């Protein structure tokens, strides 16, 4: 790696640039991962940040977590018999079941992807 410098008065200032970062908004799970790394895995957080890979890592975790949530929710709903017919017949039960499924799916995702 070759550094170039710009002369500013009597000083030589290094020309530093950050690598290209992926575009996009960081979602709920990416922010949760960032907070976890910052508070509990500070070495890994610092290494990823210094290598310029933190944002890409957080985006990847966010996308993986969202897709995993979708898949787990679909599978659990099928296992528990939570269908559109149940939604039409007993909306309150359907909401209760879906809330339970969402909470279970999120717990699995947190254990597998966020806090690992």
Domain ranges of the chain: 27-114
- Local structure of residue 22 (DSSP, 8 states): -
pTM of the entire predicted model: 0.79
pLDDT of residue 24: 81
Query: Over 70: is that where the pLDDT of 94 sits?
Result: yes
Contact 49, 58 (CB under 8 A): no
Cβ–Cβ < 8 Å for 36, 54: no
Mean pLDDT, residues 53-58: 94
- 24 contact partners, CB below 8 Å, separation of at least 6: 59
pLDDT at 53: 92
User: What confidence tens digit (pLDDT) does each residue in 38-51 have?
Assistant: 999 999 999 999 88
Distances (CA, A) of 44 to 10, 38, 47, 51, 61: 38, 8, 5, 11, 15
Q: What is the DSSP letter of 24?
A: S
């Amino acid at each position: 790696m070759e550094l170039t410098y710009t002369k500013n008065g009597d000083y030589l200032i290094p020309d530093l640039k950050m690598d290209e970062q992926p575009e996009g908004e960081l979602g709920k799970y990416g922010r949760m991962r960032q907070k976890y790394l910052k508070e509990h895995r500070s070495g890994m957080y610092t290494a990823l940040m210094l290598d310029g890979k933190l944002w890409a890592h957080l985006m990847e975790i966010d996308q993986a977590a969202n897709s995993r949530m979708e898949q787990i929710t679909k599978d659990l709903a099928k296992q528990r018999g939570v269908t559109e017919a149940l939604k039409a017949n007993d909306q309150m039960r359907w909401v209760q079941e879906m809330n339970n499924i969402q909470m279970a799916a999120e717990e699995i995702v947190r254990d597998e992807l966020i806090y690992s």
